[in-house]
Structure 1
Amino acid sequence: MVKQYILNEKLYNTGNYKETEKRYQKLIISSVKEKNYNIAALSYNIIGRIYLNKGNYERARNYFEKGLELGKKSKQKSGAGINQGFIGSIYHDLESDDSRKYITDAISLVKESEDDIFKDLVLGHLYTKLGFSTIHHKDSITMRLDYLFTALDYYKKIPKKYFNNNRYFSQTYTNIAMLEYKVKPADTVISHLKKAGYYNKYAETPYIFGFIGTELARNYLRKKDYDSAIYYGNIALKYLSIGTHKQKILETYQYLSYAYENTKQHEQAQQYYIKFKNNEDQINKDKLKSFVQIYKENSTKKDKENFREQIINFFFYFLSALLIIFFILRKKADKISVASGNEVKIEKEVSESTSIPGNKIEEAISYETESQILKRLDKFEDKLHFLQKGITQGKLAAQVDTNVRYLSIVIKKYKAENFNAYLNTLRIKYIIGKLKNDKEYRRYKVRCLADECGYFTVASFTKIFGEITGYTPSAYIAFLNDSDL
């Protein structure tokens, strides 16, 4: 069964997730039948990782919990430990402070394992997870790097009879480079990434080349070597597309957009920026959905009160991330800049753009005209004119000194699906901020809230509020009040 597990994992590394899941499901059935609970638990972990890579946190966690439950039945604790560690990793991604404890407890559990060929491998994985956990300490980067080098030491111990060490060396040097980005010169980081690439040539793990390519692109941006950044960014996308690594693909879109912008290739920069925003929004929505589901499942546990505080903070963090893109405009559309301290960031936010076949815009508008319309929309938002009742697309077009057709194209390209979606998002974001920050607003009747943000009827306000937040206004207010207890 060990041999079959390892063969299946090789298939997983090729990115053939559908067949991988099918084979591991069969292995789970046979492993449980023979009471080899550790192999069954490890198999559940791989299936969970498949869904984690896809951004389906809820389903991933379900598989990790099944693996943890089965793994506890075995004297070999690597299966239980790896699943507990990945549950901790999910909590980290969802901004929960519980993540670190899950991982450290998992490490303690695995260290007690008996006659376990997976022990050192799993400890390497867990120390890697610990290296990317939240550490509130002034020397947090140094501490994280220490954890990654500890992971490397464990990977050196794994039996070569069963495992390809080169793959784990490659992964670890890539992870080290990701952390060193914040504290080491670009050339030092690039040297570690090339070392990772050397090991991966013998590891037969395509997606790791994708991770390496993304990090090389990021570091060549630091050196202002934009051509190299474009080269490695495109290599990264080629390999990342083999599997489903949404977060890394997202980062790569961001770096490519910036690199193309700085080589005056504005059309390509715009295309990658739109891809970046669309993917970022979807990832945030998936996280929010998963966090709400996890909260519901944990609502009967002793730590309910702590969890309430976490969900409210997470809710606003991601809801704001999804909605703020409709507010901030840029002097130059699609321009991305490198922030101080060599961090790449988005200089100005644009919003979700509807996908158009071939990335063609419905009608050509000059770059200067687009910029002028965006600037005027900025004033429209800053002055809260969207709260006016009876505002129409025609009236807004007149306010920003353009025609309805041009306004529609700009909104669809940079703001929202259409004018109504744009206006509704501005209004609901406004009232959410009032409800969160001013408790007096929570005492208002729903019809007063509707009137405050520009709606003629309670019914239309309630319907739109629910579509955007997932709550009715009354339920949302109750949720806020309950969270304050």
Structure 2
Amino acid sequence: MKKIHLIVFTAFPFFFFAQSIKGLHIPDSLKNKSYQYIEEAYNKVFQVDNDKAELFANYILLKGKKENNKDIIFDGYYNIARVKNLKNENGHPYADSLIAASKNVKNYDYPAKSHIIKGILFNNEGRYKEALDEYTIAINHNRTENKEQFFYINKLIAILKTATEEYEEALPLFLKYYEYENDKVKAGNADAKNYIASIFSLANIYTKCKDYKKSTEFADLGLVECKKYNNYSNYSYLLMIKGISLFYLKDLPASYKILQEVEKGLVNNKDYTNLGVLYYYLGKIKHAAHSENEAIEFFKKADSISFMFKTFEPVKRDGYEFLIDYYKKKGDLKNQLKYINNLIYSDSVITINRKNLSKEILKKYDTPLLMKEKVSVIEKLNNQKTWLIAALLFISLLFIFIIRKNRKKIKEYEKQAKVLSEKPLMASVPQKETKIESIAPVIHAETASERKEKAPKSDLSTHPKFKILIEKIEQFEKSKSFLTKNITLDSLSKDFDTNRDYLSKLVNEVKGKNFSQYLNELRINYIVEELKSNEKIRKHTIAAIADDIGYNNAESFTNAFKKITGTLPSYYIKALH
């Protein structure tokens, strides 16, 4: 009977309560129902029908207030803020009320949980620093015995790293969260919702890492588990990930069919952010299949959703490029100008929302080219209205501001590149006075006498394998093995026949940095000297140079070079000519 009541209550909520949340009251038929019963109803429709989920969340809050039960009140505020976040609505008032109400509480979940939801709201708005601050507070409030919450916070930090495009750093955090939830399944203590969410997180991060086979594998696993546990909260999103992965795996028919299935679920959830991304990918599929007119209609839908619901995503950017090129070829100047304006505005919003990202996105239509094309289109349209002139003036001022800002950055890069290029070549075993001051010190093997002078920070030196490992590290540097691709702490520890944690600790204490920093500095210091001494290498592309010294792509090489030297490879090469 309980199941029947729950099904009826979930399917026909409007029979039980008024549609207005403001005038919401708990009906007689539910007054004697337990909090767990209503919470179960909420979880049943969360991410499946978020309007219903919001109504149930309000029920929970009202029930808590009527019963004067703080724990239920807390969960009511949390659940409302959570569902508001998914609907791209303002959940901050509920999160703030929760923080205030649970401030001096010291129970199993709160006040840590109140800062968790505040961080989630900030993350959704692109306010990553504020999100990280809230997660840090949550970690500090987390009770030792609440492992569930601890792993959840780490998952949220991984989501934050995903938003800031630190995909390789996010992956191990998502893996740990999945392993934790999977262990609970094996122990017969499965939390279906969190377990499936952990699978979704892995499928998603593998997509970001461009490992589409892995992504598809975990998406399929998640879809099976949704049916197994009768929990469909993540079903549409797992389908969407699978469809996107199949697009990149060149299976266009299967990708298109799956993504079409997803549309209804996203519309029902009012998840317009992902709906815009969905239309973008449907456009990409049609474009790849040479169905240009159908592709354009999907790109227009993605644009319409962006402006209607203020959801501007970097991934959709080249959809505007297709639209601009399409109308340019057709000689439709009005639509060409419209989508140039829309692209410029989209870029400005993304720049503001993601101002703390260090990555520089390479774009076909960068701002100067867009401005030039925009002016050209406007000149051809002789009868422009006053608002177009005003818009051009605004964009021009914005353009001047961006140019000035970019010039300042370019000057800094050029100055640093010049300093770096004027430093003398280093000897094979660099001396202290010849190290490049503008970058981190060149890593070199320490001599036995140097190691004696440098007292170890712990008892590592007493370990019987200490001397052997030091010699292996010296050989690793001398043989330039660090230029090999896909070196990790795990792979190197296996090569050295040692424990991963021990090798990590040794690198930290002997080299004074973590393994990733150590490897990057070896490679960057090497290429700085090679570029200086070898004119042929300077003629290679940045991508080729990156590949030569062990990086998987030009972007990760450029980021490492900039972080260590304070300039970009291109400016350094230019300074050497």
In which range does the TM-score fall when normalised by the shorter chain? Answer: 0.5 to 0.7
User: Of 83, 100, 104, which aligns to 1:50?
Assistant: 83
User: Of 109, 113, 118, which aligns to 1:82?
Assistant: 113
AA at the equivalent of 2:209:
V
CA displacement at 1:325 relative to structure 2: 9.7
> CA 1:142–1:326 in structure 2 vs 1: closer, same or farther (change >3 Å)?
closer
* Counterpart for residue 97 of structure 1: 129
CA displacement at 1:95 relative to structure 2: 3.6
**What pairs up with 1:26-175 in 2 under 5 angstroms?**
26-56=59-89, 59-92=90-123, 93-112=125-144, 119-134=146-161, 140-155=166-181, 165-175=191-201
Structure 1's unaligned 5+ residue stretches are 114-118, 288-316, 336-347, 354-377, 397-418, 440-485
When the two structures are aligned, how many residues end up with a matched partner? 337
AA at the equivalent of 1:149:
L
**What pairs up with 1:270-281 in 2 under 5 angstroms?**
270-281=296-307
AA at the equivalent of 1:425:
A
> 3-state SS of the aligned residue for 1:134?
helix
> 3-state SS of the aligned residue for 1:94?
coil
Calculate the TM-score normalised by the size of structure 2: 0.50
Calculate the TM-score normalised by the size of structure 1: 0.59
CA contact (8 A) 1:28 1:44 kept: yes
AA at the equivalent of 1:63:
Y
CA contact (8 A) 2:200 2:218 kept: yes
User: Of 371, 375, 385, which aligns to 1:384?
Assistant: 375
The separation in 2 between residues aligned to 1:424 and 1:131, in whole angstroms, is: 43
> 3-state SS of the aligned residue for 1:264?
coil
User: Of 286, 291, 294, which aligns to 1:265?
Assistant: 291
Q: 1:190-214 deviations in whole A, cap 9, x for unaligned?
A: 1111001111113444452211121
The separation in 2 between residues aligned to 1:104 and 1:88, in whole angstroms, is: 9
CA contact (8 A) 1:69 1:80 kept: no
AA at the equivalent of 1:81:
A
> CA 1:184–1:395 in structure 2 vs 1: closer, same or farther (change >3 Å)?
closer
- Please identify the structure whose Cα radius of gyration is greater: 2
AA at the equivalent of 1:52:
N
CA contact (8 A) 1:254 1:273 kept: yes
AA at the equivalent of 2:141:
L
> 3-state SS of the aligned residue for 1:428?
helix
Structure 2's unaligned 5+ residue stretches are 1-33, 330-337, 344-368, 406-577
* Counterpart for residue 221 of structure 2: 195
> CA 1:270–1:207 in structure 2 vs 1: closer, same or farther (change >3 Å)?
farther
> CA 1:202–1:383 in structure 2 vs 1: closer, same or farther (change >3 Å)?
closer
CA displacement at 1:154 relative to structure 2: 4.5
Q: Does 1:9 align with 2:35?
A: no
Question: Which has the bigger relative contact order, CA under 8 A and spacing at least 6?
Answer: 1
CA displacement at 1:71 relative to structure 2: 2.9
CA displacement at 1:330 relative to structure 2: 3.6
* Counterpart for residue 24 of structure 1: 57
> CA 1:379–1:51 in structure 2 vs 1: closer, same or farther (change >3 Å)?
closer
CA contact (8 A) 2:252 2:285 kept: yes
AA at the equivalent of 1:70:
A
The separation in 2 between residues aligned to 1:179 and 1:145, in whole angstroms, is: 6
CA contact (8 A) 1:210 1:236 kept: yes
Tell me which stretches of 4 or more aligned residues in structure 1 moved more than 6 Å: 135-138, 157-160, 324-329
Q: Pairwise CA RMSD of aligned residues?
A: 4.2
CA contact (8 A) 1:334 1:350 kept: no
CA displacement at 1:225 relative to structure 2: 1.1
CA contact (8 A) 1:180 1:189 kept: yes
The separation in 2 between residues aligned to 1:179 and 1:427, in whole angstroms, is: 41
